[in-house]
Amino acid sequence: MSAPAERTAAGRRGRAPDAVGAALLAGCAVWALISTAGREARPEGVLLAVLAVTTGYVVGRISGSLVPVATASAMALLWLAGALASSQETFDTAVSVAAPPGDSGAVAALLVLGGGAACCAGTGARRASGRLALRLLALVIAGCALLLGSVVGFLATLGVLLCSLAAARLRGRILWLAGYALITALIVGTSWAVAERALPEGLTASLEGQLTQHRVELWHDAAELAKERPGRGIGPDRFGDLSPTVSRSLDDDGKPHSAPLQQAAEQGVVGVVLLGALFGWLLYVLGRSPCSTPVILTAGAALTALAAVATVGNALSFTQVTAGAGLLAGLATARPAARTGPGAPPEPAGSTRTGAPAEV
């Protein structure tokens, strides 16, 4: 096979993951409309989330191919500012593991995204001073989580930072990405077991103490609604209308505070499969990314932490969070722009590379 033909084949293989992602995102949008048909449902939130992820991913790919470290650093500061602006907590609020309803899910998620972006930038920075400064920024973001009363955000951000430090010594990204998928599956499975009250009584009582009984009741309602209508679900954004727990509450946002359970209740089995497939696709494109393994594992840790926060909160109900997830994934999967001109190193004869490994 000639060199041009090999480059063409490599380019097609490189575009295949993007085609899969586009098909999954389109499937999410189409299924939201299908599950809405014939009901007074409101699919606008799902469609906006799909658009936000798509836009964020494209912007991340473009900016990551040009100025990856600068973009990731700027995004870390922007997401920290967004978390501070979204927080309804005051600095003297008592620290609680169970985040209250409202914007707390967005606060924790934005802090995780900010910490993940700072760690990715620090991992990809060429100078030791830059790496140290950016990792200190991630530590500051984790500290801000405590000041804002989000212990979940603190633990998740600190976990991303520790994973980033360990990733510098790790090899074999596929195994670790598979580990991220397994961790996410265990968290989702545990949340469903809590909703079904299938865990031992002592463990259930302990988890209810951390999650609050109100949230567990919301999860139970979501599981019951999912079992009643497993096909198309009850329709997007109708959980608040049909949940007995929401109807008894005077101050509730109408969400079950768990992305998988909300999908199951409102869009049925297909909705859950699409959500899980979309997360799996993110890990898949990370595995095929031209970026260095430490950057990939750091981004994977941040997205896994975000998935954990979304499993026990309402993080994905906020556009800035879904857009941020797409942007971080795009940054970590961007291919560096080809260098041409007199200053570019010559490409070896017969080389079939489509791009050198990038550093974010």
CA dihedral 306, 307, 312, 313 (to 10 degrees): 50
* Conformational region of residue 354, where left means phi above 0, alpha means psi within -120 to 50, and beta covers everything else: alpha
pLDDT of residue 83: 87
**Average pLDDT of span 326-336:** 91
Residue 14: pLDDT band (50, 70, 90) is low
Give the global pTM.
Answer: 0.85
| Per-residue pLDDT tens over the stretch 115-137 | 999 999 988 788 888 889 999 99
pLDDT of residue 172: 78
Least confident of 7-21, 95-109, 329-343: 95-109
Bridge partners, residue 143, by sequence:
none
Higher pLDDT, 75 or 246: 75
**Average pLDDT of span 297-312:** 94
The crossing angle, in degrees rounded to 10, of helices 293-311 and 104-124 is: 170
Whole-number mean pLDDT of the chain? Answer: 83
The C-alpha atoms of residue 283 and residue 270 are separated, in whole angstroms, by 20
Whether 1 shows a pLDDT value over 70: the answer reads no
Q: What three-state secondary structure class fits 262? A: helix
pLDDT of residue 38: 83
Whether 353 shows a pLDDT value over 60: the answer reads no
Residue 97: pLDDT band (50, 70, 90) is very low
Give the number of residues written for the chain: 360
